């Protein structure tokens, strides 16, 4: 019986630049940072305190992808074809101001959709994410 | 961005400046008065807004940052007393108590298990990566060689 999602993956253009983005700009913590072989890296990150590991997978991994596949993936990422999820915060406007100050590029500034403010941003590769405000429903799910 | 969609923009910017001030100076002997002055707000107004925007008090946030830093230092091999006094805790017993409150384990217990884990991962990294990813990323070439490269 499946009990939870333990790992998920984001494709990125450069794993070191992505690590700087997720850790130093978004404030995530590094869960695993394991060199593998000569130039491989198993790097997982997560929002602080959340029990999940987000694997940052570079698309220029020659062991995973042929060169033309890698190039196509890179073009798709830069064209914002991939949105990997929605992040939650206590206050979207405060988080928006802070992330903007740290250099995060927003596709959509916070606006209220229904009762909940939401925004959208992209990472240093081009993957886009929603940013929404935790609701009382989300809070009760955590309990 | 219209004012109705983005209320009190000036307040948010001041509060974020204050929070970033905390992020830069949490290891210094800062107090609520100097943090509130970064936001150009009274102490009570600042406390109320901070809690509203971040869900915790400034003091709780500073403690969380210091405990997070303590984890990093202990994982990197620092001693408990060095960690305690570097991070500005008043005593080993108060550090021990706060650490345990936040992480459910003592600093010494955390340090021992973190160091043991570091050694195990360094010795056999593949044991700590899900095997599906090992194959997917081509690190287990023997398994991967039977599959057409994407």
- What is the complex's ipTM, to 2 decimals? 0.81
Which of A9, A56, A63 is the best mutation test for B, with the most CBs of B within 10 A? A63
Indicate the pLDDT class of residue A112, thresholds 50, 70 and 90.
Answer: confident
pLDDT at B98: 95
| Domains, chain A | 7-142 (3.10.180.10)
Mean pLDDT, residues A32-60 taken together = 91
pLDDT digits (tens, 9 = 90+) for B84-116: 999 989 899 999 999 999 999 999 999 999 999
Is residue B148 in a domain? Answer: no
Lowest-pLDDT choice from A25-34, A114-123, B63-72: A114-123
Q: Which residue of B has its CA nearest to A72?
A: B150
- List of residues 6+ apart from B15 with CB closer than 8 A: A94, B39, B46, B49, B50, B53
- Which of B58, B54, B67 has the alpha carbon at shortest distance from B31? B58
Chain A residues in contact with B138 by the CB 8 A cut-off are: 61, 63-64
pTM for this model (two decimals): 0.87
Which residue did the predictor score with more confidence, A134 or B72?
B72
In three-state secondary structure terms, A131 is strand
Which residue did the predictor score with more confidence, A54 or B132?
A54
Which of B8, B75, B129 is the best mutation test for A, with the most CBs of A within 10 A? B129
Asked if A61 lies within 8 A of B121 by C-beta distance, the reply is no
Is residue B3 in a domain? Answer: no
Task: Find the domain containing B105 and state its range.
Answer: 9-123
Indicate the pLDDT class of residue B137, thresholds 50, 70 and 90.
Answer: confident
CATH number of the CATH domain containing B68: 1.10.10.60
Indicate the pLDDT class of residue B29, thresholds 50, 70 and 90.
Answer: confident
Indicate the pLDDT class of residue A136, thresholds 50, 70 and 90.
Answer: low
How many domains is chain B built from? 1
CB B93 within 8 A of CB B102: no
Helix (H) or strand (E) run with residue B67 in it:
helix B58-75
Q: Which residue of B has its CA nearest to A38?
A: B139
Is residue B128 in a domain? Answer: no
Asked if A63 lies within 8 A of B137 by C-beta distance, the reply is yes
Mean pLDDT, residues B11-19 taken together = 92
| From B6, B20, B136, residue closest to A98, measured CB to CB | B20
Query: Hey, what are B36's tokens?
Result: 């509130």
Is residue B130 in a domain? Answer: no
The Cα diameter of chain B in Å comes to 68
- Which of A78, A63, A62 has the alpha carbon at shortest distance from A13? A78
- Which of B28, B107, B27, B113 has the alpha carbon at shortest distance from B71? B107
pLDDT at B6: 52
Mean pLDDT, residues A72-100 taken together = 94
Is residue B143 in a domain? Answer: no
Is residue B100 in a domain? Answer: yes
Is residue B102 in a domain? Answer: yes
| From B16, B55, B129, residue closest to A98, measured CB to CB | B16
- List of residues 6+ apart from B4 with CB closer than 8 A: none
Inform me whether the pLDDT recorded for B4 exceeds 70. no
Instruction: Give CA–CA dist B142/B150, Å, rounded.
Output: 16
Inform me whether the pLDDT recorded for B149 exceeds 50. no
DSSP conformation letters of A8-45: EEEEES-HHHHHIIIIIIS--EEEEEEEETTTEEEEEE
In three-state secondary structure terms, A57 is strand
**CB-based contact, B21 to chain A, within 8 Å:** no
pLDDT at B144: 36
Asked if B129 lies within 8 A of A93 by C-beta distance, the reply is no
Which of A25, A93, A138, A139 is the best mutation test for B, with the most CBs of B within 10 A? A93
CB A32 within 8 A of CB A44: yes
Is residue B17 in a domain? Answer: yes
pLDDT at A142: 44
């Amino acid at each position: 019986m499946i009990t939870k999602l333990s790992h998920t993956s984001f494709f990125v253009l450069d794993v070191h630049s992505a690590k700087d983005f997720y850790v130093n700009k978004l404030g995530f913590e590094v869960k695993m940072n394991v060199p593998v072989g000569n130039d491989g890296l198993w790097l997982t990150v997560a929002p602080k305190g959340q029990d999940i590991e987000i694997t940052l997978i570079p698309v220029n991994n020659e062991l995973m992808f042929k060169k033309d596949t890698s190039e196509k993936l890179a073009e798709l990422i830069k064209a914002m074809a991939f949105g990997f999820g929605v992040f939650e915060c206590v206050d979207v406007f405060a988080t928006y101001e802070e992330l903007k100050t740290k250099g995060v590029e927003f596709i959509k500034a916070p606006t209220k959709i229904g009762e909940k403010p939401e925004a959208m941003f992209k990472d240093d590769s081009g993957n886009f994410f929603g940013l929404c405000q935790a609701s009382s429903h989300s809070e009760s799910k955590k309990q | 961005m219209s004012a109705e969609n983005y209320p009190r923009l000036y307040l948010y910017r001041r509060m974020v400046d204050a929070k970033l001030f905390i992020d830069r100076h949490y290891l210094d002997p800062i107090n609520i008065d100097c943090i509130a002055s970064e936001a150009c707000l009274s102490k009570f107004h600042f406390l109320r807004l901070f809690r509203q925007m971040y869900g915790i008090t400034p003091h709780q946030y500073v403690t969380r940052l210091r405990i997070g830093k303590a984890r990093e230092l202990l994982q990197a091999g620092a001693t408990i007393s060095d960690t305690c006094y570097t991070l500005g805790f008043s005593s080993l017993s108060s550090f021990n108590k706060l650490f345990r409150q936040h992480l459910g384990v003592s600093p010494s217990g955390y340090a021992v298990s973190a160091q043991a884990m570091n050694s195990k991962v360094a010795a056999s990294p593949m044991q700590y990566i899900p095997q599906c990813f090992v194959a997917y990323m081509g690190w287990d070439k023997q398994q991967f060689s039977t599959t057409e490269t994407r």
